Amino acid sequence: MSNQCPFCQLMQQPEQLNIIGETENFYAWLEYPQPRAKGHANIVPKEHIESVMDFTPSQWKEAMTLLREVMEKATEGLGAEGVSVAMNVEEAGGQMLPHAYIQLFPRFGEDDNAGTPVGAIFQHRDDLQTQEYFEETVKEMNSVTVNFEQEVKEPHPDSQKFKEDPEPPEDDVSEDEEESESRSKKRGTSIQWK
């Protein structure tokens, strides 16, 4: 826990937080002292992690599950007609504290900014409308290899799963089904919401 971090200081006395959700590693609390919308909430890791970019895959999944829970509390409990979510990364991206957080803003039809997307803060730029821009940007972004895979734990050598299974009997599986299954295995699984 960082002594200088405002969120870490707050979490030393969680009873002072307006907690609306919690998991093993995250809190969800109402923004205080200056909420920007009714139900404005923060999803914050209990451990000092400086950026959402530093979340492990399991932390990411846990944060998104809690975020989904708070979204439902906003729409069902407060009657919000929509929700906006913001993840600000680094100072240039609007991150105001050196502790990761995800903000949730319930949206209501009667609000002055109802229907305005969060992305509206960015004005359209003519210099970004060229084919050259798109080709160069795709090339630059695709030059980065991202490894955000789930850790794979090999079973213990003495376990039944470690021992080789005999060849399964051949099924009448079409080539399309095999190809689909192969693509699915390469992509991994997505989060399943309850």
Please give the share of the chain, as a percent, with pLDDT higher than 90.
54
CA 71/CA 58 separation, integer angstroms: 20
**Band of residue 87 on the pLDDT scale cut at 50, 70, 90:** very high
Please give the share of the chain, as a percent, with pLDDT higher than 70.
75
**What are the chain's domains?**
6-121 (3.30.428.10)
pLDDT digits (tens, 9 = 90+) for 112-141: 889 998 888 777 788 888 999 889 988 998
Phi and psi at 45, nearest 5°, equal -70, 140
Residues in contact with 158: Cβ distance below 8 Å, sequence separation at least 6, in sequence order: none
CA 41/CA 30 separation, integer angstroms: 4
pLDDT digits (tens, 9 = 90+) for 94-106: 999 999 999 999 9
pLDDT digits (tens, 9 = 90+) for 12-37: 998 989 999 999 999 999 998 889 99
CA 60/CA 25 separation, integer angstroms: 11
